[in-house]
Chains A and B, each alone.
Chain A
C-alpha cells in the first residue's frame, strides 16, 4: 500500500469526506411531511411555488393592474387556514408522470396496431362504426374542453401541490382526447369508405343528443373559479357523463360488435380518472376538515356540485338515444345511469359531502 496515499487525507467533495456542523443535514427541512418521512413527491413539490405566509420575505413583487398579486387566495370562493396541507394522492412528479403516460401511449398503440394488423377493424359491425364516428367522435370534444379547462385552472392554485395535481389532470385529459382523435383516424384507414372525420364535431355542435353535454362542458370552461372547475370535472362530470359514456356504453357495447380495440383505448381514461378522482377527493376532504372554514367550504362545494350536477344529469339523460343505436343492445341506459348516480353518491360519501338533490 502506498504510505503517502494512506496518510494524506483525500481531497474529496463526497458526502462523509469531512465532519463539521451540518455535514449530515441531508434532508429538506423546511416543510412538515405528511407521514413520518417526506416522500420523494413531497421533496420535489413542496414550497417551489412560494408563499408570503411562509418564506416569501419580500412578498409578491408584481401585481396585476387591479392590485391582485401574482398568486391570490381570492381566486376561489373556497378558503383554507393552511393551503399547504394538501398532498396529491397519486404523488406524481415528472418522472412518474412520463412513465405512466408513456406506458399508456405504448399500450394503446400496440393494441391499435395489432388489431389493425389482424384485420379486426374490417370486422367491426357497420352500425357500430357509425356510433364510433358520431359519438366517440363527439365525446372527444368533451374531453378536450375539460382538458383545456384544467390547463387554465393550473395557473390559479395557491400551492404547488394543488396546481401540479390539476396540471397532471389536464395532461391526462388532453392525451386522451388526442388518443380518441388519432384512433378514429387510424381505424378509418381500414374501413371501406373510411370514417366521416367531421361527423364527431358535427354531432358535438349540432346533434341535440350532445347539446346538454356541450353546455355542461362550456359551463366548466366558462367558470372563473379554478376549484369549481376541478370539482365540477372530477366529482360531477366524470361519474355522470364521462364514466356513463365510457364504461356504461363503450366498454359494454363494443365487444358485441366485434370491437375489442376501442375498449382498450377508452379504458385508459378510466385508469386516469381513478387517480384524478383520488386527488380531488383528498383535496375536498382537506377543505371540508379545515380548522377555520370547514362549514363555509361545505356550503360552497355543495353549491358547485348542485349546480353542475343538474346540468350534467340533464345532459346524461339526453344521451339515452345513443344506447339504442348499436345493432346489438347488450347494455341498458337505465342501468348505466343508475350506476352513474350511485357512483356520484359514493364519491360524495367519500368526501364527506351530502349527495346533491339530483341523486339524493
Chain B
C-alpha cells in the first residue's frame, strides 16, 4: 500500500458539513398556525433571543458515541468481577453507596423531565437537539445508576439496604435531603427549576464534586465500578452545561430578567451547597478508609471545583452583563465548610440517626482521627469524643446513641428550606410564613422560603414561582412514635423480621446485629412540633439555647468496640 494511504482515505466521500447538518436540523421547527402550543410550564422570565447550540452534534453521531461509552462501562463492570473487586473493596465505602445510589436516580430522571419544560420555552429550534440529547442522557444516567446499584446488591457482602433502595429513598430521614435536589429541577417556574437550579448551578458546579471528586475516593477504597459509571455520566455533563449556559445567555441580555436571575442564582447556589456538600462531603470524608495526607480533603476539592472552577470562571464573568453575584454567599458557604465544620456535623447527624437509616455506618478510628486533625486542625477536640461514644454505643445492648444521655449530643432542628439538619447551631433561625413558624439552617435558607418562593419578589409579581409544600420535616412524620415501631413502619428491617437493616458498625456476625428489641422503648420527637407548642418566651429561650450549641462529654474508659 502506498505510503500515507489509509482505509479512511480510500473509502471517504464528501458529506455535508457539521454546520450544514445542524443548521438543517435546526430548521425542522415552525410556528404553529392552526393550534397554539400550550404554555404548560410557565416562567416569569422573558426569553426573546434564540439560544445557540454550542455542541453542534446530531443524533446520528450521538447514539453510536453513547453506545461506545456504555460498552466501556459494562465491560469494566465485568472486568471488576473477574478481578474479584469485592474481595478487596472497603465495606465502609460501599455502605454509603446505599444512600448515595438511593438518592441519585430520581434527580437524574427529573432532569430528563425538565427538558420538557425548557425545550418549549426556548425560541427557535437550534438548542432542541441539545435538549433531546440531555433528555436521553438523563434516562441513561438514571437507569445506569440503577444497574450499578443492582450490581452492588448482587455482589457485595451485605445486600440489605440495596434491596429496598427506591422504597428507602422515599422514607429515610437522610435521603430526604435529596428530595429537594430532585423536585427542585421540575417544579415551579420553569427557568428557575429546569435552567438555573438544574443546569446553571447543579450541573455546572456541583456535578464536579458529585461525579468527579467522589469517584476518585471510590477508587481509593477498591471500588472501580463507581468511577467507571460516574465518570461516564460526567462526560455527558459538558453537554448539559452547554445547554444551560446557552439558555442563560438567551436571557441575560434582557435587563428585566436580572432581578429574577439574581434571586435564582442565590437560591440555587445556596441550596446546592447545603445539600450536595452535606451528602458528598460526608461520603468522601467519612466513607473512606484512605487517610493519605497528601490527598485533597473535601474542602480542598471544593475550593478547586466550586470556588476556582465555577465561582471564578463561570459566575464572576456574569457580572459584565450587569448581574449582581452573591459573593457573600460563596464566602459564607466556604466558611461553613472550613470554619463551621458543616460536613463533620452532618456526618455526626447521619451517625446519630443510624437506626432510621438503611446502611451501616462504622465509627471513625484513631487512624481517621489523625487524618482529620491534619486536614482540619481542631477537629479532634470537637468531634473525637463523639466518635468514641459512637463506637462504644455500637454494641447491641448499649443505649442507642440517638437516645443516649451520656454523650451530650443534642438532636438538631431541620431546615424547612434545604431539608438538611440545622447543624451549625449559631446560624439557626426561625421565621413565619402565613402565620406559621418554620425553622431554618441559615439566613440564606430562611430567605429562600420566606422571600424567594413567594408570589411576589421585591415588589414584582412572580406568578410562576413554586411553593414549598408537603411534610418537609421528616421528624414530624414519626413524632410520638416508638423507635422500633417507626423502623418497622419504614420497612428498614431485614428479611428475618427483627434485625434492623442499618447497623452502627461493620461487624458481620449475626450476634453483633441490632434488632428491633434493642431499640424499643424510645420515643421519637419532632423538634419543630415541640417548638411550635412552646409559648413565645419559651421559644425564644429555646432558640437562644440552641444557638449556643452543645458540647460532647468526654468519653473516658475503655471502648467496648473493636476499632
Contacts and interface: CB of A to CB of B under 8 A. Distances in A.
Contacts of A25: 159-160, 163, 494-495
Interface residues of A, number: 101
Contact of B469 (A69, A102, A144, A163): A69
Interface stretch (A126-134, A147-155, A294-302, A337-345): A147-155
Interface stretch (B66-74, B391-399, B402-410, B546-554): B66-74
Contact of A57 (B128, B171, B495): B171
A171 B66 CA distance: 14
A1 interface: no
Contacts of A101: 59, 63, 67
Nearest to A58: B471
B333 interface: no
Contacts of A40: 147
Contact of A22 (B21, B34, B466, B496): B496
A55 B169 contact: yes
Contact of A189 (B15, B60, B89, B131): B15
B186 interface: yes
B501 interface: yes
A264 interface: no
A70 B470 CA distance: 11
B157 A14 contact: yes
B156 A70 contact: no
Interface in A37-61: 40, 43-50, 54-61
A330 to B, nearest CB: 30
A54 B35 contact: no
A175 interface: yes
Interface in A127-145: 140-141, 144
Interface stretch (A218-226, A273-281, A320-328): A218-226
B34 A215 contact: yes
Contacts of A43: 146-147, 150
Interface string B426-459: 0000000000000000000000000000010000
B375 to A, nearest CB: 26
A188 B468 CA distance: 55
A193 B58 CA distance: 26
B320 interface: no
A65 B467 contact: yes
Interface in B494-518: 494-496, 498-499, 501, 508-510, 513
- Scoring A148, A156, A186 by chain B CB atoms within 10 A of each residue's CB, the highest score goes to A148
Contacts of B169: 50, 55
Contacts of A30: 164-167, 491
B113 A189 contact: no
Given A58-B472, A171-B132, A116 B477 contact: no
Contacts of B38: 222-224
Interface in B152-181: 153-160, 163-167, 169-171, 176, 179-180
A47 B166 contact: yes
- Scoring B63, B147, B153, B163 by chain A CB atoms within 10 A of each residue's CB, the highest score goes to B63
B116 A152 contact: yes
Contact of A70 (B153, B160, B187): B187
Nearest to B503: A20
Contacts of A218: 32-35
Nearest to B140: A94
B157 A12 contact: yes
A317 to B, nearest CB: 17
Contacts of A152: 40, 116, 119-120
Interface of B: 11, 13-16, 20-21, 24-25, 27-30, 32-38, 40-41, 58-61, 63-64, 66-67, 70, 74, 84, 86-91, 94, 105-106, 109, 112-117, 119-120, 128-129, 131-132, 135-136, 139-144, 146-147, 150, 153-160, 163-167, 169-171, 176, 179-180, 183-184, 186-188, 222, 419, 455, 463-472, 474, 477, 490-491, 494-496, 498-499, 501, 508-510, 513
21 contacts: A12-B87, A20-B510, A20-B513, A22-B494, A22-B499, A43-B146, A55-B166, A58-B472, A59-B471, A61-B179, A64-B188, A65-B464, A65-B465, A94-B144, A95-B143, A177-B28, A178-B59, A185-B16, A185-B24, A197-B24, A221-B37
Given A61-B180, A182-B24, A189-B16, 18 more contacts: A15-B155, A21-B510, A22-B501, A23-B160, A44-B143, A47-B166, A60-B183, A62-B188, A69-B187, A69-B470, A95-B147, A98-B66, A177-B28, A185-B24, A215-B34, A218-B33, A221-B32, A222-B35
**A-B pairs, 10 with minimum CB distance:** A55-B170, A22-B160, A222-B35, A22-B494, A155-B116, A102-B67, A14-B86, A30-B167, A47-B166, A21-B499
